[in-house]
């Protein structure tokens, strides 16, 4: 069973910063690509950033230069550092990984950016 637990969301003013964390099951973490997705009200869930087991990263164009994804394999945790936040970053942020053909999701953490 793969478990993903996000934390770190909250209310922040535009231009501010937040760091999200996702704690994953120890048995799979170090070998898996981890992704951060977000879903705004009435919109589809989109990829924000991902990081492979080797540390290679990928970002959505809308967050490049503002967000940084990282991982700590010793803590089985992936992070999303979000800087220069904008109102359009408001969404529920989800952690995701694929394991044995099944896509696993956390319950999400809400980020609200006030303008």
Per-residue pLDDT tens digits for 49-95: 999 999 999 999 999 999 999 999 999 999 999 999 999 999 999 99
User: pLDDT tens, 4-21?
Assistant: 999 999 999 999 999 999
Question: Percentage of the chain with pLDDT > 90?
Answer: 89
Closest CA to 6 of 17, 19, 15: 19
CB 97 within 8 Å of CB 50: no
Asked if pLDDT for residue 2 goes beyond 90, the answer is no
């Amino acid at each position: 069973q793969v478990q993903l637990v996000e934390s770190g969301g909250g209310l922040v003013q535009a231009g501010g910063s937040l760091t999200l964390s996702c704690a994953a099951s120890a048995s799979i973490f170090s070998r898996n690509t981890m992704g951060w997705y977000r879903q705004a009200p009435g919109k589809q869930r989109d990829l924000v950033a991902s990081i492979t087991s080797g540390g290679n990263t990928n970002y959505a164009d809308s967050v490049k230069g503002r967000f940084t994804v990282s991982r700590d394999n010793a803590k089985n945790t992936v992070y999303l550092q979000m800087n220069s936040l904008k109102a359009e970053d408001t969404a529920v942020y989800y952690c995701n990984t694929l394991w044995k053909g099944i896509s696993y999701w956390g319950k999400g953490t809400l980020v609200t950016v006030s303008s």
